[in-house]
Amino acid sequence: MPDHEGPTASFAMGITEGHATLDSIRAVLSSGLLPKNTHTKYAMWGYSGGSVASEWASELQEQYAPELSFSGMAIGGCVPNITETRNNLTGTAYAGLFPGAYLGLTSQDEEAREFLVSRLKTSGPYNATAFLADVNLTVTQAFATYAGQDIYSYFVNGRADLENPILTQIADRNWYQGYHGVPLMPTFVYKAIGDEFSTVNSTDALVERWCGIGVDVEYQRNTVGTHITEITNGRLRALEWLGHVFEGTATVGGCSVKNVTVNVTSSAS
């Protein structure tokens, strides 16, 4: 059974991930495994890649699954602009996200995949064989394999090959949040100001857009930590918010943006 990337492992394909997430909720609700009543409450919660799937599901819900009624959505470590994240992470310990991102981006388009492969170098340390090996790696294995590598070095013309319209037309539809719809449910967003994967400014802009059109959103910007530490630093805040949503005690309505200082990782060490 595929996860939210679908049967072709379409990592970083926002529309596919959003549709698959909504379909999974439909499947659970129609499975017969839940109590037979009309009051089942459900919400989405995702961090980093999980926030991508959840956020896209929220954008696409009105047009794709209007019968669903979410109690809320909590998303952390948001990645509203994957191109920005690519530029931030190439050459870092997390560069391994991007062979997989481009293999995912081209997983449903034969012409795009053929172009991608044709632009990979055939010799040297950064070659097609090494790049395409990612198709059989977990994300943890990919981090180890490509750590510190300049991903652009795999391509004949470097970064310019990734800016070809054959690739960017797919990325334009799937890598930028905030253009396909808006969350219809109360939303909790949490982000480390020092997030190195995706700048806080990108999430600020997404939330500002939502606030401007009336989305109920609570946005907490953590003054400490990074993308990785906010997984732990934000977990209890997300759970608490979701608990209030399910209990009907959440303060919803309007837009709240505030800085917080939560350093669970420091106190646990």
Establish whether 23 is a catalytic residue: no
Establish whether 172 is a catalytic residue: no
Among the four given CATH numbers 3.30.540.10, 3.50.50.100, 1.10.260.130, 1.20.20.10, the one describing domain 85-174: 1.10.260.130
CATH topology of domain 16-81+179-268: Rossmann fold (3.40.50)
The model's pLDDT over 41-62, given as tens digits with 9 standing for 90+, comes to 999 999 999 999 999 999 999 9
> Residue for token digits 């034969």?
110
> Span 162-179, mean pLDDT?
98
Compute the distance between CA of residue 187 and CA of residue 44 in angstroms, rounded to an integer.
9
Please pick, among 4, 19, 48, 216, the residue that the annotation labels catalytic: 48
Buried b (16+ CB within 10 A) or exposed e, 165-195: ebbeebbeebbbbbebbbbbbbbbbbbbbeb
Establish whether 30 is a catalytic residue: no
> Span 23-47, mean pLDDT?
89
Compute the distance between CA of residue 120 and CA of residue 76 in angstroms, rounded to an integer.
34
Compute the distance between CA of residue 8 and CA of residue 106 in angstroms, rounded to an integer.
10
Residue 6 is encoded by which pair of tokens? 């679908």
The residues of the chain that CATH labels 1.10.260.130 are 85-174
Please pick, among 195, 198, 202, 216, the residue that the annotation labels catalytic: 195
pLDDT given at position 269: 45
Apex 64 CA angle, 211 and 49, nearest 5: 65
Please pick, among 4, 19, 180, 227, the residue that the annotation labels catalytic: 227
The model's pLDDT over 178-237, given as tens digits with 9 standing for 90+, comes to 999 999 999 999 999 999 999 999 999 999 999 999 999 999 999 999 999 999 999 999
Question: From edge to edge, which strands make up the β-sheet containing 187-192?
Answer: 43-47, 72-76, 187-192, 217-222, 255-260
The model's pLDDT over 100-140, given as tens digits with 9 standing for 90+, comes to 999 999 999 999 999 999 999 999 999 999 999 999 999 99
Largest Cα separation within the chain, whole Å, is 62
The residues of the chain that CATH labels 3.40.50.1820 are 16-81+179-268
pLDDT given at position 6: 86
